[in-house]
Structure formats: structure tokens, C-alpha cells
Structure 1
Amino acid sequence: MNRLPLTFACEDATLAGTIDTAPASVGLLIVSGGNEVRAGAFSGQAQLAARIARAGFPVFRFDRRGVGDSEGANRGFRSSGKDIAAAIDAFRAMAPQMNRVVAFGNCDAASALMLAGGAGCDSLVLSNPWTIEDTQDDLPPAGAVRSRYAEKLADPRELARLVTGKVDFRKLARGLARAVMPRQAPSSLAQDMSAGLARFEGPVRILLAETDRTAQAFAEQWDAGDARIAYCKGASHAFVEPHARDWLHEQLLRALRA
């Protein structure tokens, strides 16, 4: 396995990428979320790439336009379809033995892949897709609030805090009001993501971290019976817990070996 930096073109901009070479005919494209650079937070994506490459699969990461080492204007995840497509072309050129590309994106990177209808990939692994509109409030979804209060009511220490007055009753009242709200209707972003994903004909896995608010908001607006959804218990947004890192790694290997 070798790790090689490279540049490639996306329209009139030069983008920066990194490939971890491996011999398999199936490769993993990692799409960064937010304004995160291709190494990921605390080099998490770089470490994931090395681990996948050691299992025999080439991995490609890149900075979209206006992020990290890449040129151009940063227009956000909604406008990154061409960046992803250009990265796929560069990946295929660097690993000509590949006949299939699996794309993985977390948060709004997952949303970008959905909006772009897969952007030319053959298989998708989408974790904690971002469905929250800029105009929505900052409260957790009602389902998440109900789950949180159920946990608190089962905890004797929390009941003791309530009895002894060590609870912010304004916050409690706000939370209870949120908890009784009906299930949210899908946001326009969620609807666009659903329409984009419906255009994609390849295999899809949707991975949700159980304790992540972004995942909870997605679940509130998505079909609860979608058989493509899998939950990682006790996992946070970036799957930083040791068991969550192993779970994510296994899910990606399953997609690559399918």
C-alpha cells in the first residue's frame, strides 16, 4: 500500500486529492462533510482510508472546491455534485483496475451524494445524512426528546434531581412541549434528497449513529421501515468510539465486498 497526493481538474479549478493504493477492483471514495478537509477531524478519514487499504481496497479522498488545498469558490454541499464526479474520474484514472466505486459520506456529504443521485458511483454508504434546513430551529427532533426523557425517567439520579429542585424547569417545560409535538413533515431538503436517491439504481446502506442529533433528525423525516437503515448503538456523529469505529469499518467492508 502507498499513499500518494495528487491534483485533478473540476471545471476551471484544480482540486487536491489523496489515494491509498491497493489491488482490489473495487474502491472506496470518501466524501468529506461540511468544510472538513480530506484528512477528516483529527485525521479520522486518513486513518479510515489506511485501514480500508490494508484490507486490500484502494481509497480516494479529496477537498472539494474552496476547501483545504483545493482552488475555487466554496459553494457548499448542495453544489458539490461536479466535485464528486471529477473525483471519481480521477480515482478511476489512478486505479485503472477498478470496475466499481463505493462512495461513503457522513453528514452533509451523505446529503450531497443523495442530491446528486450518486454522482456516478456504483454503491453508496450514507451515514447520518443532514436534513436540517437553515430556517429550522435548533431544538432536537420530538422523537429524540421523547427518547431522552424516557432515559431520564428510568434513572434514579435524575428523579432525585427533579424532586430536590435541581432541574431547570424552563428547559424542562420547553423539552416537554417539544416531546408532544407530532412527527415532523420532511423538510424540502429531505424531499430533494429522497428524490435524488430514488434516481440511484445501485446498492445503498444508510448508517445512523444512535446518539447523534443529525441522525435523529434524519430518522424523524425518513421512512422508518426503510430496510437499508442500520443503527450503531451508543455511537456519536463521527463514530469516534472504539466500537463505533469498528462497526463503521465492517459496514464499509461489507459494501466493498458485496
Structure 2
Amino acid sequence: MRKLIEFPCAGETLLGTLDEAPGAIGLLIVSGGNEIRIGAHRGMALLALRIAEAGHPVFRFDRRGIGDSSGDNRGYDSSADDIAAAAATFRAATGVTRIVAYGNCDAATALAFFHAPANIDALVLANPWVIEPTDDLPPVAAIRARYAERLRDPGEWLRLVRGGVNIRKLISGLLKLSRSQPQREGGLPARLADALGQTQVPVTILLANGDNTAIAFADAYAGPAFAAARTKASLVELDSASHSFASQSDKDWLFKEVRARL
């Protein structure tokens, strides 16, 4: 059975969707960006349905200022109260004794930051957001990966000779690579590294390894700042460029990985 639940958060009213199931371990889904709780391509709603059919209750919600919830949208970095209120409501509505939380993109980063006050028991973080945008180009790690891939492809050299490559875009990318600087102290990657390094709960990181956001995270994750995090988290990669796990095979993989953590 699927039902809607209204609940309070910092003087506002949030709306969530509960997919009921008898299990004592539940899944809390946190949406990324400005997506409503249904998710891109209905991905979160479909995941919730499949997990509930497998025996685990699932709760997903719109944070303040998104979808059916009141208040101002202040972004993922101001969602601590929303996550805590959703987790408390989930427990009260179902009696679950353990909550695993799943988030994609900046929702993954928000969960890394704010899971402890919400008493969340385990994290599944997909394509965590570590990008601090400076222009309209992809992150440096993604540009580097794309260029390396294309340099290995004879067809790309032929396109360049025939004028099929956007030279202005190519030069912009090369300039960004030449200007790239180490991540600043106290920046988003450093904050995420610190949060994951200090967490006391199990963490699984899921990456669609062809996605720009995942590429940027993988580049940061390989660095020294994430040394402590790497001893605590397990990382699983999918050969896909879909940030939202849009294809059916991607959805099947995501379901399998999330269910395994439940």
C-alpha cells in the first residue's frame, strides 16, 4: 500500500510518500537537486515500489520549497532538518528499527553531512556531488577522462581533421585543464572527505563511472583527503554514463545494490 504523509519541519509542512511493507529495516530515499520525490524518469518511485515488494518499507519526501512541501528551497546544504524530520516520521509511521538512506548526487552529499543527527543506520550514496562550479564546462576530471578516451579513438582524430570537432570548445577545455588548481582547503570535497572519514555507520558508494559527477567524485576520492573514508566505505561501479540510472538495466543494478544493503 502506498500512502501520503504530511509532517512538520522547522515550522513548515513537508509531504512524503510511504510504500508499506512488513520489514523492520526500511529505506529512506532523499531526492537530489530540485527533483521532487518521484525522481528523474520516475526512478525513485519505481525503486521504492520494487524495494517494498521485496519486503522493506520505503519513505521518500519533498524537502522544504520543493514539490508539495511548503517553505523556501535553500538547497541540499540546508537540508539537515528535513532529513531528520523525514527519518523521525518514517520511524513513527512504520516502527522500523533500522533505516538505510539512499541519495543520488547532492542528496548523497547531504546524507554524508547530516545522517548522524537523523539517527540513520547505513548510507548508500550514488554519484556524490563534489563539484564547485566555476564555469559552464564539465569538471576537470571529466574533461581529462573524455580527452583520454577520445585520443584512443582513431575516429576522433578523423573528425578533427575533417573539421567535425568544435575547436572553440576544445580550446576552452584545454585551458581549463591548464588552469586547474588543487582543491581548496575547506572546500566541498574536503568537507565530504571529513564527513565520510568520521562516520560511524556503514557506507556504500555507487558510481555510474561514465557520469561527469561520478568522474569528479572518483578523482577526488582517490586523493589523500579521502584516505580515512576509503577505509570505511565500499565502492561499487556501474559501466554507465547515466547519472540517474535511467535505463532498465541500470535500474535493475541499482535495485540489486540497494536491496543488498537492506
The question of a shared fold, defined as TM-score above 0.5 by the shorter chain, is answered with: yes
Q: Deviations over 1:92-120 (max 9, x none)?
A: 11111x21100001111111111214432
Aligned partner of 1:147 in structure 2 is 145
Residues 142, 181 of structure 1: 8 Å contact kept: no
TM-score by length of 2: 0.89
Task: Classify 1:223/1:110 alpha carbon distance in 2 versus 1 (closer, same or farther; 3 Å).
Answer: same
Aligned partner of 2:254 in structure 1 is 248
Q: Which runs of 5+ in 1 are unaligned?
A: none
Residues 117, 199 of structure 1: 8 Å contact kept: no
1:123, 1:192 → 2: CA distance?
A: 19
Over aligned residues, Cα RMSD in angstroms? 2.0
Aligned partner of 2:122 in structure 1 is 123
Counterpart amino acid of residue 22 in structure 2: P
2:178, 2:73 → 1: CA distance?
A: 39
Q: 1:138: Cα distance to partner?
A: 2.9
Q: 1:235: Cα distance to partner?
A: 3.5
Aligned partner of 2:237 in structure 1 is 231
Aligned partner of 2:87 in structure 1 is 88
1:215, 1:81 → 2: CA distance?
A: 23
Task: Classify 1:199/1:120 alpha carbon distance in 2 versus 1 (closer, same or farther; 3 Å).
Answer: farther
Out of 50-59 and 214-223, give the one that drifted further.
214-223
Aligned partner of 2:30 in structure 1 is 31
Question: Residue 82 of structure 1: SS of its match in structure 2?
Answer: helix
2:196, 2:149 → 1: CA distance?
A: 34
TM-score by length of 1: 0.90
Q: Deviations over 1:113-168 (max 9, x none)?
A: 1121443200001111112225x233223332232123223323222112223322
Question: Residue 71 of structure 1: SS of its match in structure 2?
Answer: coil
Out of 223-232 and 28-37, give the one that drifted further.
223-232
Counterpart amino acid of residue 261 in structure 2: A
Residues 183, 189 of structure 2: 8 Å contact kept: no
1:175 aligns with 2:212: no
1:166 aligns with 2:155: no
Identical counterparts, % of pairs: 50
Q: 1:241: Cα distance to partner?
A: 1.9
Aligned partner of 2:19 in structure 1 is 20
2:154 aligns with one of 153, 156, 169: 156
2:39, 2:4 → 1: CA distance?
A: 15
Aligned partner of 2:183 in structure 1 is 185
Q: 1:246: Cα distance to partner?
A: 1.3
Counterpart amino acid of residue 153 in structure 1: L
1:112 aligns with one of 110, 113, 129: 110
Aligned partner of 1:215 in structure 2 is 214
2:169, 2:71 → 1: CA distance?
A: 44
Q: Which runs of 5+ in 2 are unaligned?
A: none
Q: 1:180: Cα distance to partner?
A: 5.4
Question: Residue 155 of structure 2: SS of its match in structure 1?
Answer: helix
Q: Deviations over 1:2-53 (max 9, x none)?
A: 1011111112111101100111111000001111111112322111100111
Q: Deviations over 1:184-237 (max 9, x none)?
A: 426612222222333320100111111211112222222357352221112311
Question: Residue 215 of structure 1: SS of its match in structure 2?
Answer: helix
1:163, 1:114 → 2: CA distance?
A: 46
Residues 140, 213 of structure 1: 8 Å contact kept: yes
1:183, 1:231 → 2: CA distance?
A: 27
Task: Classify 1:117/1:175 alpha carbon distance in 2 versus 1 (closer, same or farther; 3 Å).
Answer: same
